[in-house]
Structure 1
Amino acid sequence: MSSSTVNVLDIKEPKIRLLHLSWFAFFLTFVVWFNHAPMLASIKEAFDLSTQQVKALMILNVALTIPARVVVGMLVDRFGPRIIFSCLLVTGGAICCFFAFANSYEMIALLRFLMGFIGAGFVIGIRLVGEWFPARQVGLAEGVYGGWGNFGSAAAAMSLPTLALIYGGDDGWRYAIATTGVIAACYGVFFYWRARNTPKGSTYFKPKRSGGLVVTSKGDLYFYIAMCIPMYLALAVLTWKLSPANLGLLTDLAAMAIYVVLAVLFVFQVSQILRVNSDVLKGVPVPEVQRYEFKQVAILNVSYLVTFGSELAVVSMLPLFFMDTFDLSAVTAGMLASGFAFMNLVARPTGGFFSDKFGRRKSLSILVAGLAVGYLLLSQITSEWPIWLAVVATMCCSFFVQAGEGAVFAIVPLVKRSMTGQIAGMTGAYGNVGAVSFLTALSFVSDSGFFMIIAACAGVVFIAVQFMTEPRGHIAEYNDDGSVALIEVS
């Protein structure tokens, strides 16, 4: 049995080299995805934008990520992570460069919308790392991949303003953003050269049908369709935010057209799900060795909704929360709030390690319970608290949130190997659904109420996790010759 530790310094090991190749690819996707954030002041000045237009850019930047993660998950399972990650980096880098030198608001808005596709890069590495690491190490390896790669957004925030100053002039921000695009595109070529889908001699299992997850019972089929609905509702909410009822950057006609498109896309997706599961609908029995429970996927979805979804939402509002609560400057509040994101470097790998070492369901249960308590604690923060105590409470809560993310993706590769990309894509999309849901709730309640809502959702998820089946023994996949391959998951 393999050890549950991973020596990330042992670059002579092929799987460790692959891990470093993967997390840095993910890191670059986040740098490119969020490279506009530290440059918003310059962008606002260059295009003479209103505050509402800036808010629209921020929404457009994440809008496409929800469907993109689902689509990219399917592509990864079908064509392999090596080619898909390379294409995503090259394409995303090109879009980034076009954005850097765009000359109208309409153009930067469109390109920022398209840039949301690169946010799906996370999904690719989940399948890739899962192929290279055994069950006793996969949680820690996925945690390193997710935690270190996710730091790309913070790296962009810290480095791009300085890079823009080095370039100098009114267009310094353009050259800084374009630089990240060039680096991403070049790395995409390098990644294709150096990465491999599986270790030498291993088989890359692909789903027999493309277009959706293949489930193993009628009940699971209806459950799967129901779990697709929140993703479309989140996109509808984003449309509402851009509509005349909110930011007013879409006309009523345009908003209605988007709602219709979302409805058509949902019907199309359901038709594809029914197509790939036609045997289940006909009552054709699924061999016992091929069965899995869709509830596993659903529980991972809602777990990521409350972990990563809350992280995205809290990171967006925390600086302003510190400013208003403790009457701090924007710079000081931003520095104190940044600790929430910095925990990713350690917390995600720790959550993955706990999952490997102490059990999947137990670890996820403890971490979700911890983040529920953490958010309840944050809801009690007032101006009477010492600032240092508020920061400590924030960091403690952040640890449980991000360790929970690591625990979620320690389980994803163990459900069904041939569909890991699709499972990761759906789970990742639910993280964005959570962010949209919590930020929408924030617009109607106080900061304290916002934290309490997240805590309540975490309580519900904690109950759901108790129904998750602990991965045991082996999962089965079919080789091309029809023989059965058993993959250890515990």
Structure 2
Amino acid sequence: MNLQDQPLNKLRIFSFKGVQMRTFHITWITFFFCFFGWFGVAPLMPLVREELGLTKNEIGNIIIASVSATIIARLFVGKMCDTLGPRISYTILLVAGSIPVLLIGLSNSYESFLLFRFFIGIIGASFVITQFHTSMMFAPNIIGTANAVTGGWGNLGGGVTNLVMPLIAAAFVGMGFVSQSDSWRIAMVVPGAILLIMAYIYYKYTQDTPQGNFNKLSAGQATNKKKNGSFLLALKDYRVWILTLAYAACFGIEITVDNVAATFFMDRFDTGIILAGALASIFGGMNLFARALGGIVSDKVGRSYGIKGKGLILGILLLLEGIGISLFATSNTLLLAIITMLLFALFLKMANGCTYGIVPFINKDNIGSVSGIVGAGGNIGAMLVGFLFKSETLSYADAFQYIGIGVFVIGFTVLFVRFHPRTETVVQNVSLEV
């Protein structure tokens, strides 16, 4: 086999040479823009709240709806990757997801907005395809790092969205196209159009594996030897459920913060909508390096201590994340809130990367299924904590305090779980090149 047709054992960040690195960059860029569609309306919620007259309970329902559809979508898309391949799966998802993003501006009531917000959530399944496709392109020694970089740089879109979408809405107002109250409607057309563009790019310029697309490979190659495993086998593996719980405590909290941060800063510290969006973007901006750092640490620990060491690091990161969230919840000044947000964001995003530094080694015959199950766990976590933010008796600060305690408990649990090494692959010679 030609070396160019094999998974890479080095990650050359600034290289676009070869199908592996081209796919790597297109994948994270696509995932980045998926966040614009998924959370584009989140920093604009103060405008939506005012125009549609939404109550705190209704906003809480909208937060829950925004992550609920993703749970089912991630399970379904994970299986699609194992059968149709990531290229076709991503193209279908991008086209389908663009429709509710483009149409949410037509909402004229709480009910219609809730429905559109629910269907937009299917875009969140893009993460599973991103991780699956990266796993196809890189060798075991670098999978954790490669997955963390694509996931982290993609998640960066959640932070940039908080910064950019209020500016896009303000630009349309400044050009006289629309009033401020309606600016969120036309602003959402932008991410919807970008999703359609990325669907074309993904279909045209990527392929499923270094050897080619699934439909042109032999049955054994295309299915990634999945005849030795099954979706049900993945469900029966306790390690899958431990990682699902862990991902609920890190990524689940991340997308919750993406949803509520701007509103939190406006309500608690009386900031304007643009400043609130800018402050919320700091949280997402940590993905520039923090998730990748988690993957790198996971790979390096794996060299010496295997999957057990990876699990130990994950538990420690979750413990530190929980402590950081609790400190954030008790912050009574804007400066302290920013500092503590950065603190827990670092550990949270490292835990994200560490989780998916373990996923590819759980069941190599069904990477898509395992990725989908664990990824769905993140959204289950976000859905459950969403109920805290809809409560009329709890402030957002109270909700964050309960979240911090919950994450700490989960971290403590993960810390004492020992991953069974029966299917573990020896990982050596991690290499990250720039």
TM-score range (shorter-chain normalised) is: 0.7 to 0.9
| CA separation of 1:204 and 1:417: change in aligned 2, threshold 3 A | farther
| Alignment-derived partner of residue 150 in structure 1 | 155
How far is 1:128 from its partner? 0.8
Paired amino acid for 2:163: M
Contact 2:144 2:357 survives alignment (8 Å): yes
Aligned to 1:38: 43
Secondary structure of the structure 1 residue equivalent to 2:17: coil
Who is 2:125 aligned against?
A: 120
The 5 A counterparts of 1:9-408 are 9-167=14-172, 168-170=177-179, 171-200=182-211, 203-205=221-223, 207-208=226-227, 213-215=231-233, 224=236, 294-314=237-257, 329=271, 335-336=278-279, 338-359=281-302, 360-376=307-323, 378-379=325-326, 388=335, 391-408=338-355
Report the CA distance shift for 1:470/1:397 in structure 2 as closer, same or farther (over 3 A).
farther
TM-score, structure 2 length as denominator?
0.80
In structure 2, the CA distance between the partners of 1:392 and 1:40, relative to structure 1 (3 Å rule), is closer
CA distance in 1, matches of 2:265, 2:116: 32
Q: Give, in angstroms, the shift of residue 106 of structure 1.
A: 3.6
Flag the 1:434–1:32 CA change in 2: closer, same or farther, 3 A: same
Which residue type is aligned with residue 371 of structure 1? L
Report if the CA contact (8 A) 1:77-1:418 is conserved.
Answer: no
The residue matched to 1:135 in structure 2 has which SS?
coil
Q: Is the 8 A contact 2:311 2:419 kept in 1?
A: no
Change in CA separation of 1:318 and 1:95 when aligned onto 2, cut-off 3 Å: closer
Residue 142 of structure 1 aligns to which amino acid in structure 2? N
Assess if the C-alpha contact under 8 Å between 1:30 and 1:153 holds in 2.
yes
In 2, distance between residues paired with 1:173 and 1:386? Answer: 29
Higher helix share: 2
C-alpha spacing 1:74/1:343, structure 2 compared with 1 (3 Å): same
**Aligned match of 2:419:** 467
CA contact (8 A) 1:99 1:112 kept: yes
3-state SS in 1 of match to 2:11:
coil
Cα deviation for residue 172 of structure 1 reads 3.7
- CA drift of 1:471 comes to 5.7
1 CA distance for matches of 2:165 and 2:262?
Answer: 19
Q: Which has the higher contact order (CA 8 A, sep 6+)?
A: 2
2:374 to 405, 410, 427: 427
CA contact (8 A) 2:39 2:258 kept: no
Q: Residues 411 and 382 of structure 1: is their aligned pair in 2 closer, same or farther, counting only changes over 3 Å?
A: closer
The 3 A distance-change label for structure 1 pair 368 and 5 is farther
When Rg is computed on C-alpha atoms for both structures, the one with the higher figure is 1
Distance 1:20 1:51, change over 3 A: same
1:343 is paired with a residue whose SS is helix
Unaligned runs of 5+ in 2: 1-5
Q: Does structure 2 conserve the Cα–Cα contact (< 8 Å) formed by 1:140 and 1:356?
A: yes
Q: Do the aligned residues in 2 keep the contact of 1:4 with 1:356 (CA within 8 Å)?
A: no
Aligned-pair distance for 1:105? Answer: 4.4
1:401 is displaced (CA, Å) by 1.4
Alpha-carbon displacement from aligned partner over 1:324-367 (angstroms, at most 9, x marks no partner): 88x56466666555433321221111111112222143244224
Alignment CA distance shift 1:368-1:470 (3 Å)? farther
Q: CA distance change for structure 1 residues 406 and 438 in 2, over 3 Å: closer, same or farther?
A: same
TM-score w.r.t. length of structure 1: 0.72
**Deviation larger for 71-80 or 352-361:** 352-361
1:341–1:154: structure 2 CA closer, same or farther, 3 Å change rule? closer
